């Protein structure tokens, strides 16, 4: 056995054995076995659900979106807001849509008759009221449809009746009151109720016809008066599922959620009534 040399004295030190070195672990040694990495959980494949909805539902549906998605993390809602008649035409032309929420029965019924909407799913979800609004600051003091004839009420915003249900309800009310033809020179037509509201808020028109829910959501416009509900058809918001949807199960989950008490509480917050 070779003698060890003391590192401090440089002398050999007898009687001491070198510390044995451990043999290197072989490939077959247990210590060399690598623990396999845990299998990666595949990401959730989210379904994108496209909802075409009346513009007057914007605020309430935007609030409901995260509440629904929290309950169903595999679904992402994408909203397409606009005038109900315009949305109807888009759907008829094949625009991707899974669920339709209209601000009137006519567009929904037309799609159901063409078998684009599953008629078995059509249900009146909400009700609303038609009101006349004026600018919040310095707006005219008017209290009836007849007051719209006043000389100081120069321009009146109204949704295009052919595509905007609120405009159609306004036309029906004014026609029944004998004022439609008289007020024609004052009308400024808009693509939807949100544009009507913006015209009034900016002072570009002295008055405008919108839904109560739109007026309540605005800080720059105020309700001058409510239009008598007897002058027009009931304002209902039907919901229906598109027959050609590729995500029927997910569409039914949204459908059921929107008719739930939780959703009804949010709609109520924005001034909607629930349909009996």
CATH of the domain at 162: 3.40.190.10
Q: Rounded CA gap, 262 and 149, in Å?
A: 43
In what order do the strands lie in the sheet containing 75-82? 75-82, 47-54, 99-101, 236-241, 123-127, 273-274
Do 122 and 134 fall within a single domain? no
Do 186 and 167 fall within a single domain? yes
Q: Is residue 170 in a domain? A: yes
What predicted TM-score, i.e. pTM, was given to this entire model?
0.78
Q: Which of 196, 211, 231 is the last residue of a domain?
A: 231
Say if residues 86 and 159 touch (Cβ distance below 8 Å).
Answer: no
Q: Rounded CA gap, 170 and 131, in Å?
A: 9
- What are the φ and ψ backbone dihedral angles of 242, each rounded to 5 degrees? -70, 130
Full residue range of the structural domain in which residue 200 is found? 130-231
3-12, 167-176, 267-276, range with greatest mean pLDDT: 167-176
Q: Is residue 37 in a domain? A: no
Say if residues 48 and 234 touch (Cβ distance below 8 Å).
Answer: no
Say if residues 104 and 235 touch (Cβ distance below 8 Å).
Answer: yes
Q: Which of 197, 215, 231 is the last residue of a domain?
A: 231
Q: What pLDDT band is residue 275 in, cutting at 50, 70 and 90?
A: confident
Which residue(s) pair with 135 in the sheet? Answer: 221
Do 249 and 213 fall within a single domain? no
Per-residue tokens: 143: 């209290």
Do 142 and 113 fall within a single domain? no
- Give 57-101 pLDDT, tens digit per residue: 999 999 999 999 999 999 999 999 999 999 999 999 999 999 999
Q: Is residue 19 in a domain? A: no
Q: Is residue 36 in a domain? A: no
Number of folded domains that form the chain? 2
SS3 content of the chain, % helix, strand, coil (to 5): 35, 25, 40
Q: Is residue 90 in a domain? A: yes
Do 83 and 204 fall within a single domain? no
Do 102 and 136 fall within a single domain? no
Residue 6 scores a pLDDT above 60: no
Do 95 and 152 fall within a single domain? no
Q: Is residue 6 in a domain? A: no
Q: Which of 213, 231, 249 is the last residue of a domain?
A: 231
Per-residue tokens: 22: 């451990």
Say if residues 179 and 185 touch (Cβ distance below 8 Å).
Answer: no
The whole-number pLDDT of residue 239 equals 98
Q: Is residue 143 in a domain? A: yes
Do 214 and 170 fall within a single domain? yes
Do 241 and 122 fall within a single domain? yes
Do 151 and 68 fall within a single domain? no
Q: Rounded CA gap, 76 and 69, in Å?
A: 6
Q: Is residue 113 in a domain? A: yes
Q: Which of 42-46, 80-84, 202-206 has the lowest mean pLDDT?
A: 42-46
Do 121 and 247 fall within a single domain? yes
Do 191 and 246 fall within a single domain? no
- Give 154-166 pLDDT, tens digit per residue: 999 999 999 999 9
Per-residue tokens: 138: 């310095």
């Amino acid at each position: 056995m070779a003698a060890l040399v003391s590192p401090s004295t440089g002398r050999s030190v007898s009687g001491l054995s070198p510390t044995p070195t451990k043999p290197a672990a072989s490939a077959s040694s247990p210590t060399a076995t690598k623990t396999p990495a845990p299998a990666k959980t595949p990401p959730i494949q989210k379904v994108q659900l496209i909802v075409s909805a009346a513009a007057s539902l914007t605020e309430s549906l935007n609030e409901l979106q995260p509440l629904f998605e929290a309950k169903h993390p595999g679904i992402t809602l994408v909203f397409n807001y606009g005038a109900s008649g315009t949305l109807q035409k888009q759907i008829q032309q094949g625009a991707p849509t899974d669920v339709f929420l209209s601000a009137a029965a006519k567009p929904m019924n037309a799609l159901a008759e063409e078998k684009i909407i599953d008629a078995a799913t059509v249900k009146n979800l909400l009700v609303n009221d038609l009101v006349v609004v004026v600018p919040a600051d310095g707006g005219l003091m008017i209290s009836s449809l007849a007051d719209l004839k006043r000389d100081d009420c120069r321009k009146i915003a109204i949704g295009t009746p052919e595509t905007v249900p609120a405009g159609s309800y306004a036309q029906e009310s004014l026609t029944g009151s004998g004022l439609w033809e008289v007020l024609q020179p004052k009308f400024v037509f808009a693509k939807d109720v949100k544009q009507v509201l913006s015209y009034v808020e900016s002072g570009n028109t002295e008055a405008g016809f919108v839904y109560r829910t739109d007026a309540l959501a605005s800080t720059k416009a105020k309700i001058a008066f409510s239009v008598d509900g007897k002058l027009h058809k009931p304002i209902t918001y039907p919901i229906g599922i598109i027959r050609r949807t590729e995500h029927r199960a997910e569409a039914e989950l949204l459908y059921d959620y929107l008719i739930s008490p939780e959703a009804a509480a949010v709609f109520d917050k924005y001034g909607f009534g629930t349909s009996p």
